């Protein structure tokens, strides 16, 4: 009798022990990402991980802060000696990123932020910021610069310093007004995107020649120089946008500068057409390569001239005077600058 009871008690204990071990194993052992109080944690067999980890599912890297009980870091944070950018989703970012309103570089492998150095020829200051310079030239002006100037530095060929530009056939708006409108909006948008050093070549107060405009960009050592124009034709059915760039044989522009201007032209035009839906007027990359533009020939910095659309086409003219389309034009141009610089969108 006594023996039987002991055996029975032993059986119950064993059952209890089995249940104690089995129940959590069946349902509650935490594995992988677990969100608690709006914070993500990562578990392996019920144990919280800390430090740098790679999620085997995605190959992305994360940092789980030991000081915060394994909380996943997000945003722009300092870990040990260096700053890292984890984005909103916590994945460690690499390359050029817009963080806290500044362009910053995060090394490929470590993800650490670069500071006090030069990357891709760009000077990064002690706080890890690259302060890009952008110069925007609003094409034409209310007063037209008279006389001629050399087509390129030292050239004997002379060209008019400026022209009055085209005019909207439906709206009557002059080209200089449209280019100033778009340039001012673009400057504001670029500043909003962290390009604090964005300048216009003039404020539409007086006459200014093509060489003088470009000399502003050269003096500022612009990282990108955008010349804003709109097109005109005797053929009112002509529509679409194009970019104008020097050729690879330009006598005043080095080959490395031509390569940069070409990339700038392509990036800005394709982003512009994709956001606005504007027709790309020319086949291929849509860029007109020519050495007949004084302002492009004098540029010592990456330069493109964008023709926004045809003011001599009644529908395109009207469209370019609506604020909704102007916003898209500006977004497209700014996206093109971001892409030229290789700045990630998030």
Give the residues lining the site for Zn ion (CB under 5 A).
139, 165, 229
Pairing of strands 76-79, 51-54: unpaired
Least separation in angstroms between residue 80's CB and Zn ion is 54
Least separation in angstroms between residue 236's CB and Zn ion is 17
Give the dihedral sign, CA 38/42/46/48. negative
Question: Shortest Cβ contact with Zn ion: which residue?
Answer: 229
Least separation in angstroms between residue 175's CB and Zn ion is 5
Instruction: Please give the C-alpha separations between residue 328 and each of 147, 165, 173, 238, in angstroms, as whole numbers.
Output: 36, 23, 19, 21
Least separation in angstroms between residue 118's CB and Zn ion is 36
Q: Which is nearer to Zn ion, 112 or 210 (CB)?
A: 210
Q: Which is nearer to Zn ion, 97 or 167 (CB)?
A: 167
SS (H, E, C) 159-185: EECCCCCCECCCCCCEHHHHHHHHHHH
3-state secondary structure of 338: helix
Distance CA 325, CA 327 (A): 5
Task: Please work out, in degrees rounded to the nearest 5, the angle formed at the alpha carbon of residue 215 by the alpha carbons of 157 and 219.
Answer: 145
Q: Which is nearer to Zn ion, 97 or 312 (CB)?
A: 312
Q: Which is nearer to Zn ion, 97 or 321 (CB)?
A: 321
Least separation in angstroms between residue 222's CB and Zn ion is 20
Q: Which is nearer to Zn ion, 103 or 182 (CB)?
A: 182
Least separation in angstroms between residue 165's CB and Zn ion is 4
Q: Which is nearer to Zn ion, 133 or 160 (CB)?
A: 160
DSSP 28-43: I---EEEEETTEEEEE
Q: Are 104 and 116 in contact (CB under 8 A)?
A: no
């Amino acid at each position: 009798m006594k023996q039987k009871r002991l055996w029975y008690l032993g059986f119950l204990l064993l059952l209890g022990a089995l249940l104690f071990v089995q129940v959590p194993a069946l349902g509650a052992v935490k594995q992988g990402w677990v969100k608690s109080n709006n914070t993500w944690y990562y578990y392996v067999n019920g144990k919280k991980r800390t430090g740098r980890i790679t999620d085997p599912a995605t190959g992305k890297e994360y940092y789980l802060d030991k000081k915060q009980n394994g909380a996943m870091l997000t945003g722009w944070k300092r870990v040990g000696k260096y700053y890292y950018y984890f984005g909103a989703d916590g994945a460690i970012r690499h390359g050029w990123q817009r963080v806290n309103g500044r362009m910053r570089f995060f090394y490929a492998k470590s993800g650490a932020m670069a500071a006090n150095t030069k990357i891709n020829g760009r000077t990064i200051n002690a706080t890890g910021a690259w302060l890009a310079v952008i110069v925007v030239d609003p094409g034409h002006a209310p007063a037209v610069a008279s006389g001629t100037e050399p087509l390129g530095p030292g050239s004997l060929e002379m060209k008019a310093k400026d022209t009055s530009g085209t005019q909207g056939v439906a709206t009557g708006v002059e080209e200089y007004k449209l280019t100033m409108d778009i340039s001012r909006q673009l400057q504001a948008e670029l500043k909003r995107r962290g390009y604090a050093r964005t300048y216009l070549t003039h404020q539409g107060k007086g006459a200014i020649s093509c060489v003088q405009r470009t000399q502003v960009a050269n003096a500022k050592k612009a990282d990108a120089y955008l010349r804003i124009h709109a097109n005109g034709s005797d053929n009112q059915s002509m529509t679409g946008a194009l970019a104008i760039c020097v050729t690879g044989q330009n006598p005043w522009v080095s080959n490395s500068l031509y390569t940069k201007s070409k990339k700038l032209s392509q990036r800005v035009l394709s982003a512009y057409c994709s956001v606005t839906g504007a027709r790309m007027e020319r086949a291929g990359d849509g860029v007109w390569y020519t050495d007949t533009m004084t302002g492009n020939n004098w540029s010592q910095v990456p330069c493109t001239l964008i023709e926004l659309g045809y003011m001599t086409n009644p529908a395109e003219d009207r469209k370019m005077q609506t604020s909704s389309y102007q916003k898209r034009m500006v977004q497209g141009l700014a996206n093109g600058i971001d892409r030229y610089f290789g700045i990630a969108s998030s």
